[in-house]
Amino acid sequence: MTMGGGSSIRVLLVEDDDALADLTVEFLEREDDAFEVETRDAAESALDRLDDAAVDCVVSDHDMPGMNGLEFLGEVRDTHPELPFVLFTGKGSEEIASDAISAGVTDYLQKGTGTDQYTVLANRVRNAVEKRRSQQALREEKHLLEQVLATTPGSVVFDADGRVASATDRAKATLGLAGETLPVDPDWAFATLDGDPLPPEDHPARKVARTGQSLHGERLAVVWPDGWEKYLVMHCAPLFDEAGDVDRVVASFTDVTDRVEHEHEIERVQTVVQAVGDAVYTLDEDGVFTFVNDAFEELTGRKNLEGEHCSVVLTEDDIDEGERLIAGLVSGDDETAVLEIDADDWADDVEHVEAHIALLPYDVQFNGTAGVVRDVTERERRQRKLRESEEKYATVVEEASDAVLVAQDDRLKFANQQAASILDADPGDIEGTPVADVIAPEDRDTVVSRLRRRLDGDAPERRYEFTAQTVDGDRVPIEFSASTITYRGDPAVLAICRDVSDRRRRDRERRQYETIVETAPDGVFIVDENANYVSGNEQIARLTGYSQAELAEMSVTDLVAEGVFDPEVVPRYEDTVATLLSSRADDAKGKFEFHVYPRDGDDERVFECHLALRPHDGEFRGSIGVLRDVTERKRRERELEAQNERLDEFASVASHDLRSPLNVATGWLEQYRETRDDDALDRVEDSLYRMDEILEELLTLARSGTTARETTEVPLQVAAISAWDSVDTGEAVLGLDLEGVTVDAVRGRLQELLENLFRNAVEHAPARAARTRPDSAVADTGSELQIRVCPLTDREGFFVADDGTGIPECEREDVFEMGHTSTEDGTGFGLAIVENVAENHGWRVELTESEDGGARFEFETEPPESPTRNR
């Protein structure tokens, strides 16, 4: 039900007795001029009246034809639950009164005799209406304050005892109330800005709760026990309950901590200004100054003005305008007039002043004027700036890079040039267009609904994206931000729109790049200017053995300290970055190599780091890198280098060793041509055989130089016997102690190694009696050459030893060199083959003296370091 406005009280009197109704109306309106009483003789017609017009109170009889007063009350409460209703009955009883109270009657009054009852009735009606109006005003005020609280950044709600009930986030941060739980009774104290403590009862919220009066501009300090304090200007207002008691206190504040000292200075200046006051003057009827105060002289920048004509400070135009205003005051009813003066030649920084002119008292003859002059320079500047701002904002909106639209009543009322460009139309053609026409069909209902809800005061999502539709039907993805404004006096929606086609394309490209990076076999990483890990793909985590979360807390130096990166990575990285920074090319790139020792224990790897700088504007912001595993490539390069070296050696040895038998063969062939002596051909044949033997050795040596790939566990005893059977060992004896001993090797290569060792021992043994190998692996003690193959006892591996003349220590460095031999018919390749086989199995070979004074070749099959032999 809508209550009436102003001070009138509209009463609907329901009384079936016309005479009594007229009497009641007469006395009510006589009691208070505010009463406007309208009558109905039945409850049914009264209900129709309530539906048609505003009523402040219903006064009804009980005993009426048709619907009685209690039934009428029930109907009223169904449709107007808060409307004051006074049951004014002539046949009252306790039962009727109880039922009326239960039904929600506002007041109950039994008719009596005399006119005093109408005074009582008038008071009851007036009190009921005023109470209802007060309650409604209280609710509206409470709702308004709650809305203000919700939209005010720094606000706190206190209960009637001064305890904190709620607070906005900014208030929590400002007052030191941040935390998961809001403290109800914080351990704080209040003081004046000068530091004087305030007693608890002067707590602003408690003062407002106690007095029921609002506080405005209360300046105080909030002090915590640890000395932390904030200076505030607070505004507090009470919220009353329906009983009229203070229920809560709403406080909003401004943090003026940073301005306290500045305000103190301002206060001192303001004190001086107040002491000086406004500039005041008086002029006689001829325009001569009869009085000026110090402020006036200061404002004009002139001294000793008394007795001077006003023309010393006013232009002729100012004087003419002043005389016109004075004439108007003399002839009219106005008491004052305002003369605006351009005061460029007054005191410094004074451009505009206002002179408030009044006539000096006079009886008949004009007696002059008095005036108060105020410097309005700043006001004029602000107004000028405001005008400039309005023009600037209009220009900004028109020239903005974003599209600006105003929607009202489901139509576009304004569009700037950018909006028109997006929609491929002119701004004038867009204005008046239905909003739905510029939205793609699939988004049309959603966007229009959100705009309507925002205008209705709802709060749908403020920022979202949808697809717009141009006048030609083209589709444009739009980012949309909406807010409610008043446009030409009516609510409207201001929309800031942005074409996000390029952004979506970049997002797609970014996702594609991310997919490429994540699926790339190489490690991709980003580090900041301090070489701290920023991000990378999973390959980086895999090759280092750390998770992404762990890497996020690490730097390159941390990985070096953990033993994962080679220490040389730091100077190489720094040198590469320095080179890139000194380069003027935007796409400059660098690279370097370093070793990685994975955390999970995998073998050492070699990585090639390709580096580029992160985008920067003259200040180094880190780098982007790609780690490529080049371990296999490096191994192949080393093999290729070794092969090239061997080829060079082969070519050198072959050219040397083949030249001699070739020259011999050529000489004997010439001899044969001259003499036809068959002995010469035998000599040629011997030379060719020698050349064939050298070539066979070279082929064996070449095969021995290739890396052992697929190895198996080979029984060493079986390999030794096979090698022995493949070599012409004469009467030498082989001793074996290899039961159960196996070697991880390529069987054929291992046999080549043993064959060459056996052949070398036999060929370099001194001439002595020999006999065949015994079935037993135990060497005979006779004069035959003894060769033994046994496992090493102190480490993994085996040795081959003989009891021949041995190899002098001074020659042990040379015997493995290709082409080195101490016999005329030797090729010098045997021990080079042995070293190549060992090297390509990753073994270390060491040549020493055997227990019998011969040669002992030790092969360590699991050496702790890389060298193949220890000479």
DSSP string, 5-57: STT-EEEEEE-S-HHHHHHHHHHHHHH-TTEEEEEESSHHHHHHHHHHS--SE
List, edge to edge, every strand of the sheet that includes 9-14: 35-40, 9-14, 57-60, 85-89, 107-110
Task: Give the residue from 27, 22, 57, 33 showing the smallest Cα distance to 117.
Answer: 27
What is the chain's mean pLDDT, rounded?
81
d(CA 187, CA 228): 12
Q: What are phi and psi of 125, to 5 degrees?
A: -65, -45
**What tens digit of pLDDT does each residue of 842-865 get?**
899 998 988 888 999 999 998 775
**What tens digit of pLDDT does each residue of 721-768 get?**
988 987 888 889 999 999 989 999 988 888 888 988 998 888 877 765
φ/ψ bin of 546: left (φ > 0), alpha (ψ from -120 to 50), beta (otherwise): beta
Task: Give the residue from 251, 253, 189, 245 showing the smallest Cα distance to 221.
Answer: 189
List, edge to edge, every strand of the sheet that includes 411-415: 411-415, 403-408, 490-499, 475-487, 463-469
Residue 583 has pLDDT above 90, yes or no: no
Task: Give the residue from 525, 534, 570 showing the smallest Cα distance to 554.
Answer: 534
Q: Using alpha carbons, list the distances in angstroms from residue 503 to 474, 479, 793.
A: 18, 10, 72
- Going along 317-436, which residue ranges are E strands? 336-342, 352-359, 369-375, 403-408, 411-415
The gap from C-alpha 229 to its chain's centroid, in whole angstroms, comes to 31
Q: By mean pLDDT, which of 9-23, 252-266, 478-492 is the weakest?
A: 252-266
Task: Give the residue from 212, 231, 209 showing the smallest Cα distance to 220.
Answer: 231
Which residues fall within 8 angstroms of residue 639, CB to CB, at 6 or more apart? 706, 707
Q: What is the pLDDT of residue 265?
A: 61
Of all residues in the chain, the percent with pLDDT exceeding 70 is 83
> Which secondary structure element, helix H or strand E, spans residue 744, and what is its range?
strand 742-745
CB 493 within 8 A of CB 450: no
Can you tell me the mean pLDDT for 591-616? 84
Q: What is the pLDDT of residue 804?
A: 87
Q: Give the pairing type, strands 246-255 and 279-283.
A: unpaired
Can you tell me the mean pLDDT for 338-360? 89
**What tens digit of pLDDT does each residue of 494-549 get?**
888 888 888 888 877 677 766 666 666 788 889 998 989 998 888 888 888 888 89
**What tens digit of pLDDT does each residue of 364-388 get?**
788 899 999 988 888 888 888 877 6
Task: Give the residue from 697, 790, 784 showing the smallest Cα distance to 743.
Answer: 790
CB 534 within 8 A of CB 527: yes
Which residues fall within 8 angstroms of residue 535, CB to CB, at 6 or more apart? 525, 526, 548, 552
Neighbours of 615 (CB within 10 A): 9
Residue 811 has pLDDT above 70, yes or no: yes
Confidence of residue 699 (pLDDT cuts 50, 70, 90): low
Which residues fall within 8 angstroms of residue 634, CB to CB, at 6 or more apart? 606
Residue 271 has pLDDT above 70, yes or no: no
Q: What are phi and psi of 481, to 5 degrees?
A: -125, 125
Confidence of residue 148 (pLDDT cuts 50, 70, 90): low
Q: What are phi and psi of 341, to 5 degrees?
A: -125, 130
Residue found by looking up tokens 């739009």 in the block: 478
Helical residues (DSSP H) of 243-315, grouped into ranges: 260-276, 294-300
Q: What is the pLDDT of residue 774?
A: 40
Q: What is the pTM of this model?
A: 0.33
